[in-house]
Amino acid sequence: MTTETTPIATAKIPAPATPYQGDIARYWNNEARPVNLRLGDVDGLYHHHYGVGDVDHAALGDPGHSEYEKKLIAELHRLESAQAEVLLDHLGSVGPDDTLVDAGCGRGGSMVMAHRRFGCKVEGVTLSATQADFGNRRARELRIQDHVRSRVCNMLDTPFEKGSIAASWNNESSMYVDLDDLFAEHSRFLRVGGRYVTITGCWNPRYGQPSKWVSQINAHFECNIHSRREYLRAMADNRLVPQTIVDLTPDTLPYWELRATSSLVTGIEKAFIESYRDGSFQYVLIAADRV
Ligand SMILES: C[S@@+](CC[C@H](N)C(=O)[O-])C[C@H]1O[C@@H](n2cnc3c(N)ncnc32)[C@H](O)[C@@H]1O
Ligand SMILES: CC(C)=CCC/C(C)=C/COP(=O)(O)OP(=O)(O)O
Ligand SMILES: [Mg+2]
């Protein structure tokens, strides 16, 4: 690394609020799965979320072809970026003078996309110094560091001023926190009339209790998947009123079925596919107004 800057994120790393958060920080500091890095290398947008939309079989071509695996990686990445576009579609009208918050920002791919779409500032928080440094380095490379910034910070206790944020989101990051605490914090920093969006996996109360597949996903990622009911209750209790709820489960299954055939499998594919198929787990988008 050059001497040009002390990375903002690691200049002063706050102590984890709980031992659990310390574990999660370590998990993401050590994460370097090819399924994430090789997809990000396609165009420099690094995601830690899953994909939506139909697979473009024409673009993939013949599985026997020497370029097939490369095309498959590009296709998985296209579906992951399409997921982030769907989230951004639900943020409402955002202008260049607005500031957005990405709660649990990962390596920052969604933040770059949000800035490109709206021209606004985007503030990201993650528990991982490695991720925050990665996101800030990408922002510098893209010369958007004045607008896109990641920091090591607990999303339940952020420095953002009350009512200062136009819109905020959790993209596959709400399963690491208590939902009441999470929505109280979003509600505090969002302005009245602002928008909150989450894309998340949640267990389906109609199934009864979390299925064995949901338990496997929790163990795999050290997270704690909430039920759909818990999301709606915690939002209602924190001045977040759902405007749109979309069941993205049918839209994410093609991504998983394709990923299961790739060389980049991680072993968790079966749990997602089986739980989406048996109805015990759902992939949902909820967009809510801060009232
Ligand atoms: C699965 S990744 C999602 C990353 C990103 N939203 C994306 O779509 O690429 C989960 C993220 O949540 C973050 N996270 C978990 N608990 C957190 C907390 N209490 N405060 C801030 N970030 C947290 C992790 O550090 C990680 O960046
Ligand atoms: C929908 C649910 C329950 C998500 C759990 C949170 C999570 C780990 C998301 C993907 O991260 P990743 O992109 O790092 O995972 P992978 O390595 O499997 O692609
Ligand atoms: Mg991934």
pLDDT tens digits, 117-168: 999 999 999 999 999 999 999 999 999 999 999 999 999 999 999 999 999 9
**Predicted local distance difference test score (pLDDT) of residue 5:** 54
User: How many angstroms separate the CA atoms of 152 and 108, rounded?
Assistant: 12
- Rounded to a whole number of angstroms, the distance between the first and last alpha carbons of the chain is 45
Closest atom of ligand 2 to CA, residue 200: 1
173-192 average pLDDT score: 99
**Superfamily of structural domain 8-290:** Vaccinia Virus protein VP39 (3.40.50.150)
CA distance 214 to 265: 18
Write out pLDDT tens, residues 243-271: 999 999 999 999 999 999 999 999 999 99
Domain boundaries, the chain: 8-290
Query: What's the average model confidence in pLDDT over 63-90?
Result: 97
The yes-or-no verdict on residue 98 having pLDDT over 70 is yes
* pLDDT score recorded for residue 2: 43
Query: Whose Cα sits closest to atom 19 in ligand 1?
Result: 154
Cβ neighbour number for residue 114 with a 10 Å cutoff = 26
Is the pLDDT at 1 greater than 50? The verdict is: no
Q: Compute the distance between CA of residue 165 and CA of residue 179 in angstroms, rounded to an integer.
A: 19
Average pLDDT, the chain: 96
Best residue among 156, 173, 221, 248 to mutate for probing ligand 1's pocket (most ligand atoms within 8 Å of CB) is: 173
User: What is the band of 14 on the pLDDT scale with cuts at 50, 70, 90?
Assistant: confident
Is residue 179 within 6 Å of ligand 1 at its C-beta? no
List CB contacts of 121: < 8 A, sequence separation 6 or more. 98, 99, 100, 115, 147, 148, 149
As for the ipTM of the complex, it is 0.99
Q: Which ligand gives the minimal distance to the CA of 168?
A: 1
Torsion of CA 14, 17, 21, 22, to 10 degrees: 60
According to the model, what pLDDT value does residue 13 have? 86
Pocket perturbation via mutation, ligand 2, pick of 23, 36, 253 by most ligand atoms within 8 A of CB: 36
